[in-house]
Amino acid sequence: EGLKVSKMSNEFNREQLESVLKRRFFFAPSFDIYGGVSGLYDYGPPGCAVQANIVDTWRKHFVHEEDMLEVDTTMLTPYEVLKTSGHVDKFADWMCRDLKTGEIFRADHLVEEVIEARLKGDKLARGHSTESADAEKDKKKKNRKKKVKEIKVEKLDDELVKEYETILAKIDGYSGEELGELMVKYKIGNPATGEALEAPREFNLMFETHIGPSGALRGYLRPETAQGQFLNFEKLLDFNNEKMPFASAAIGKSFRNEISPRSGLLRVREFLMAEIEHYVDPENKSHPKFDAVKDLKLDFLPRDIQEAGKTEPIKMTIGEAVSKKVVDNETLGYFLGRIYLFLMKIGIDPAKFRFREHMQNEMAHYAADCWDGELLTSYGWIECVGCADRSAYDLTVHSRKTGEKLCVRQMLPEPKVVEEYDCEIEKKKFGPKFRRDAPKVEKWLLSQSQEELEDLVKELAANDKIVAKIPDITTGEVEIPGDFVKILKKKKTVHVREYIPNVIEPSFGIGRIIYCLYEHSFWTRPEDSARAVLSFPPSVAPTKVLLVPLSSNAALQPVVKDVKEHLRSAQIPFKVDDSSASIGKRYARNDELGTPFGITIDFDSLKDHSVTLRERDSTKQVRGSLDEVITAIKGITYKGLSWEEGVKNLVPFEAQSEE
């Protein structure tokens, strides 16, 4: 930008940032006067405006630019849908209870914290003073709500230290049972009392409720917006005139009943998501606009590097990443590039960004592969955007469950003769054996895919029967004798190719991105570390202009009124500060709010209708007519001009000191 400001001269201080954010009401704990509820936060006016501006940018950058089909689906979701999607069974964390105190701990977090504390105690005991200072700083940085309140200084066996370090490296990959074994083996209990805890139990993270007056219809608050999009797949494909590929998108709240929320705005129970489901032919994942992103050079941290115990990313272009198969295909690569460009547009620091591939064991149950867009903060690297390959998982399970075909039909250029398995059933035998389950067993057999039929052929050859788990069946499992069914290869002429599309899903945690943006935008003036600034890009800033009359002299009022009317009709969000505080104080207040521009009205304004325009970061000022100044603000805020380009027709103005 050419505005030479040293934003790095004072060290980042999270307490100071949080104090500014709360004082200026960017956010506050919800139900504060009732004592608050952990994991729930409200956004005050500036936070709410930042959110609205980011959502607006997101909609333009993704939905409008790519002609995506945006939908708004309900949060209330019936049990059956989330049972099918796998969330009822698998969307859970491990918790353990202290039966004496009633306290509840998230098992993996507890094991991690206790072992970290023991290792720190060991280092202190060994007199590693530098490291212990670092460790202390780390502790302060990472989390303010630790369960482990005290570090016991105690030297450990070298062997044990190694065991602990191995456990920490693998902490995201343990099952509940394994966590329970670690807790027994290493005597990890309630940190406050030392007492043993109940073995880890699965706790489903969805909020449950009941729909309708009878209480019979169980439901949940959605954990993601994705399911609402998948269920509308047929209607969306029809709306898109059956053209592939295409994407749907949704912006809305989702919910996650965290066991014990911590890390402030980063781990909350109710949050705004923006999700894209891009439906693509599994046999053709090229992307027509791939060239537009292929030369972007980004930091990639693929799975194999992490498995080797390293965290140094590889810097390469998206084009290279795709051609070397670090990133699986062009469509995935295209979205990684678009995600990066979006984050840069809203003001994320490119030096604090990387793409990290999920390890096998940390992927969600529906994902075949996943890259996280991670942002570096004082809490460490934070996952803010997930870009998952959900393959055909969701459309397949919903299609199976409902019997509705969720697939694409594509006319073949010319008919094709294929050999396919065909399943013939001896209908009359089913009734007597399976009774009222008979229709379900028949339907199950007839809805098997080619791959599944191939497996059934093998099973029949080996056992002369099929053992099938069929949802909703009285007995859970049935045995189908070999003479009930014939599965044979047959030649067929087909005119249409039918396929279930794969889904590439860029999924944005808007609240997390906003918090990271606060950290990345925050700095204090080198000359006075108490003067904090939030350097949002003008398009994201909650208010664009602060209007400050130099004095409260009544003579200035008509000009103030005139400037207000002009700003209002230009649709530029502004605030007036006509308080008696000094100009410097008034600007300082608005630097904390991230207001990028100031318009000063002074007695010269009365003569020639000129005003002064101040830039937040550099505090540089220029002067011109009101119309020129408004044109400059619009150009910089909404048309992407730099400050220099925007104000090139205005005259530099020697400001009086801001103090």
Site for a copy of itself in 204-243 (CB under 8 A): 207-214, 217, 219, 221, 228, 231-232, 234-236, 238-239, 241
Q: Catalogue the long-range contacts made by 149-153 (C-beta closer than 8 Å, 24 or more residues apart).
A: 149/191, 149/192, 151/117, 151/120, 151/121, 151/124, 152/117, 152/118, 152/121, 153/121, 153/124, 153/125
Per CB under 8 A, contacts with a copy of itself among 303-322 are: none
Kindly tell me which of 118 and 269 has the beta carbon lying closer to a copy of itself.
Answer: 269
How far apart CA 206 and CA 79 sit, in angstroms, is: 11
Q: Quick check: 86 binds a copy of itself (CB under 8 A)?
A: no
Per CB under 8 A, contacts with a copy of itself among 578-597 are: 579
Q: Are 104 and 118 in contact (CB under 8 A)?
A: no
Size of the site for a copy of itself (CB under 8 A): 80
Q: How far is the CB of 361 from a copy of itself (least distance, A)?
A: 23
Q: Quick check: 571 binds a copy of itself (CB under 8 A)?
A: yes
Q: Which one of residues 17, 20, 21, 51 is an interface residue with a copy of itself (CB under 8 A)?
A: 51
Per CB under 8 A, contacts with a copy of itself among 537-556 are: none
Q: Quick check: 49 binds a copy of itself (CB under 8 A)?
A: yes
Stretch touching a copy of itself by CB under 8 A, among 75-83, 359-367, 445-453, 483-491: 75-83
Nearest partner of 266 among 517, 59, 49, 93, judged by Cα: 517
How far apart CA 170 and CA 182 sit, in angstroms, is: 12
Q: How far is the CB of 101 from a copy of itself (least distance, A)?
A: 11
Per CB under 8 A, contacts with a copy of itself among 495-524 are: none
Q: Quick check: 30 binds a copy of itself (CB under 8 A)?
A: yes
Kindly tell me which of 231 and 533 has the beta carbon lying closer to a copy of itself.
Answer: 231
Kindly tell me which of 72 and 419 has the beta carbon lying closer to a copy of itself.
Answer: 72
CA 323 to mean position of chain CA atoms: 27
122, 128, 138, 141 from 134: Cα distances, Å:
14, 10, 6, 10
How far apart CA 428 and CA 425 sit, in angstroms, is: 9
Q: Which one of residues 5, 17, 20, 81 is an interface residue with a copy of itself (CB under 8 A)?
A: 81
Reading phi first (left if > 0) and then psi (alpha if -120 to 50, else beta), residue 404 is in beta
Q: What is the dihedral of CA 443, 446, 449, 453, to 10 degrees?
A: 120
CA 11 to mean position of chain CA atoms: 28
Q: Which one of residues 18, 70, 454, 562 is an interface residue with a copy of itself (CB under 8 A)?
A: 70
49, 172, 279, 366, 656 from 52: Cα distances, Å:
5, 34, 27, 30, 35
* Sequence-separated (6 or more) residues with CB below 8 Å from residue 430: 438, 441, 442, 484
Q: Quick check: 69 binds a copy of itself (CB under 8 A)?
A: yes
Kindly tell me which of 80 and 112 has the beta carbon lying closer to a copy of itself.
Answer: 80
How far apart CA 522 and CA 524 sit, in angstroms, is: 7
Q: Which one of residues 77, 85, 521, 610 is an interface residue with a copy of itself (CB under 8 A)?
A: 77
Q: Give the phi and the psi of residue 125 in degrees, each rounded to 5.
A: -65, -35
Q: Are 515 and 568 in contact (CB under 8 A)?
A: no
Kindly tell me which of 217 and 423 has the beta carbon lying closer to a copy of itself.
Answer: 217
* Sequence-separated (6 or more) residues with CB below 8 Å from residue 45: 25, 542
Q: How far is the CB of 158 from a copy of itself (least distance, A)?
A: 38
Per CB under 8 A, contacts with a copy of itself among 88-107 are: 95, 102, 104
Per CB under 8 A, contacts with a copy of itself among 268-307 are: 269-270
Per CB under 8 A, contacts with a copy of itself among 383-442 are: 398, 401-402, 404, 406
Q: How far is the CB of 80 from a copy of itself (least distance, A)?
A: 6
Q: How far is the CB of 50 from a copy of itself (least distance, A)?
A: 10
H-run or E-run covering 528: strand 528-534
* Sequence-separated (6 or more) residues with CB below 8 Å from residue 571: none
Nearest partner of 58 among 279, 380, 338, judged by Cα: 338
Kindly tell me which of 303 and 400 has the beta carbon lying closer to a copy of itself.
Answer: 400
Q: Quick check: 172 binds a copy of itself (CB under 8 A)?
A: no
Q: Quick check: 65 binds a copy of itself (CB under 8 A)?
A: yes
Q: Quick check: 42 binds a copy of itself (CB under 8 A)?
A: yes
Stretch touching a copy of itself by CB under 8 A, among 44-52, 178-186, 408-416, 604-612: 44-52
Q: Which one of residues 153, 156, 167, 259 is an interface residue with a copy of itself (CB under 8 A)?
A: 259
Q: Are 535 and 617 in contact (CB under 8 A)?
A: yes
Stretch touching a copy of itself by CB under 8 A, among 57-65, 288-296, 304-312, 468-476: 57-65
Q: How far is the CB of 34 from a copy of itself (least distance, A)?
A: 6
Q: Quick check: 253 binds a copy of itself (CB under 8 A)?
A: yes
Kindly tell me which of 456 and 547 has the beta carbon lying closer to a copy of itself.
Answer: 547
Stretch touching a copy of itself by CB under 8 A, among 43-51, 167-175, 299-307, 490-498: 43-51
Q: Quick check: 33 binds a copy of itself (CB under 8 A)?
A: yes
Q: Quick check: 159 binds a copy of itself (CB under 8 A)?
A: no
96, β-bridge pairs: 105
Reading phi first (left if > 0) and then psi (alpha if -120 to 50, else beta), residue 502 is in beta
